[in-house]
Structure 1
């Protein structure tokens, strides 16, 4: 794709090696376009963060990328970069310089014994060693200004800041080197709803100003409906639906997507009963046969418990830029009677 900055193809991530390995992410294919916000939604344990850490090679042991490809397009005419094949030096330049992450727990991500000034300037000095101390301090002041924090807070320790300010410091740190991709791993989970909106407003303004692309990871689909351009829904380590945010909100195709949407109250219109989703997400060590969602699905029928549905463009949504993996919306080319674990083909729409 001409406007893609990141392409993920067939990415699978395991924890452990050999027969005892547990597959946490299975055969994920996605793309991120320039200036786009791609939302990644799903319950805890669905594989969202593992996918993000896998594509940036930040998986903690014993996590390993089992298969797949991650291509980064720098947009400077030099051609695509295979992230999974980068040398340690190349990977160091890619991280933070081209792709940055805003981690979920800002208090844990910031060093409690160092002042904010040192933590911001250390990032700048590591990647741009030619800058002098005065220039680094000035850049740190600019970064705090970008996220709406007074410059005198450079002399504060993390515990002297509120939760929202710490999260904004992390956003500023992520933007220190003006990356083209920013991955946000549930950055508003520990904040109240008022602070959530403030953080998202700041980030939306920065994205428009600096023109970077975003992968926004959260379990709160209501946030993504407002903030994201496209949404990919994950369950059991797989993408089960992907579509523009408006289509997901108005007409979700997968029962799991529909369940997530009915798990939060509507912002407008008449009151409605919150139904939620019965049961719990599956244990990745013993996933159900067939569609992993079928034990919790109110619409499950014969093929669901024995055959894995393909992710692709459903015939019922002809002409729309969306994909779904559900037997209620079969993909063209699906062969009846396919084995329980072997998909016939992949028609992923990205």
Structure 2
């Protein structure tokens, strides 16, 4: 059965600044989010994950600017054509946000207004997009939203500082669900929470997805969360996507050395013990990117073309259904034997 796309991103480029001094934060991003899918977006800090989330929702702050590509939303109605999000006018964009696409911001304490009650902030969304709803109907809907995320309705009168970190984050999720959008983008919603609360919120998101049928883009640096929670995972490094595959494939057989390094940075819950190796070095500065593959200065498996040629993000011949940007899995330019000439060209296989 062919899955229908709900969001397609094609050739997206984002810069900070203009002219020769511009910093290229995102380069040629291509992603498809399918209806009802949870797509995980992983990578170290500075890899471009949040920039991508804000570019898609057109919430980039100056000097951020989208310099190329397009982002299209595909409505569920039969016969309705795709919506070019980047071409929406301010008025159209105001109607589109929260109605079709919503976002759960990183840091719930900073995202919620500290001088307004939960009731005020939830009903404000409803008043802006459902002006015909009465005050009583908006209050009733706000109570339903809190109950949906496991918070008692009597907390509607509470201020953000009167709630725990996990409750504040769930209020943000409730706000994102207010108009039952088709897409919810979650920008590291569990970063500041303890591991117990992280799992509770993830289970709540998964349960809501089953009930409401929305699609999720889940942004985090913690790939272990994505392996457990996502249907598919896209790995970002240096403003590019370097690998896309199902969560199970990424876990069992990561093709890109960076993906493998991320997976070796957290302990396995099952199977034999293994040493945590991490990734040597630091992510590149976006204003001084290395030539060729951006990961090659930190890669223990780089070979001749890696420092000179940018690898394409494409499906390896032996493993269709996934894509990877690495010369270990594509015919390397200038080498007659291709990636077989590279040292240690095999991936590390895991047991689930």
TM-score, shorter chain, exceeding 0.5: yes
Give runs of aligned pairs for residues 154-193 of structure 1, distance below 5 A.
Answer: 154-193=156-195
After TM superposition, the structure 1 stretch with the greater mean CA deviation from structure 2, 8-17 or 70-79, is 70-79
Structure 2 unaligned residues grouped into runs of 5+:
336-352
Partner of 1:7: 8
Residue 325, structure 1, aligned to residue 333, structure 2: no
C-alpha distance in structure 1 between counterparts of 2:157 and 2:90, whole Å? 33
Q: Give the TM-score taking structure 1 as reference length.
A: 0.93
Deviation at 1:336, TM superposition (A): 3.8
Question: Per-residue displacement from partner, 1:120-146 (whole Å, max 9, x unpaired)?
Answer: 000110111111100000000000000
1:2 Cα deviation from its structure 2 partner = 6.3
2:76 matched to which residue of 1? 75
Aligned partners of 2:3 and 2:35 also within 8 Å: no
The alignment partner of 1:284 has SS state of coil
TM-aligned CA deviation for residue 335 of structure 1: 4.8
**SS of equivalent to 1:167:** helix
CA RMSD of aligned residues (A): 1.1
Task: String of CA shifts for 1:228-264, please: whole Å, max 9, x gaps.
Answer: 0000000000000000110000000000000000000
User: What does residue 237 of structure 1 align with?
Assistant: 239
CA–CA separation in structure 1 for the residues paired with 2:334 and 2:58: 38
Match of residue 62 from structure 1? 63
Tell me, yes or no, if the aligned pair for 2:292 and 2:310 is still in contact at 8 Å.
yes
| Unpaired segments ≥5 residues, structure 1 | 338-350
Per the alignment, residue 204 of structure 1 pairs with 206
Distance 2:104 2:325 in 1: 30
- Alpha-carbon distance in structure 1 between the residues aligned to 2:105 and 2:267: 27
Are 2:107 and 1:105 aligned? yes
* Residue of structure 2 equivalent to 1:85: 87
C-alpha distance in structure 2 between counterparts of 1:308 and 1:229, whole Å:
28
CA deviation after TM superposition for structure 1 residue 268, in Å: 1.3
Q: Would you identify which runs of 4 or more consecutive aligned residues in structure 1 move more than 2 Å?
A: 334-337
Count of residues paired in the alignment: 333
Counterparts of 1:256 and 1:141, CA distance in 2:
44
Return the TM-score normalized by structure 2. Answer: 0.93
Task: Decide whether the 8 Å contact of 2:305 with 2:333 is kept in 1.
Answer: no
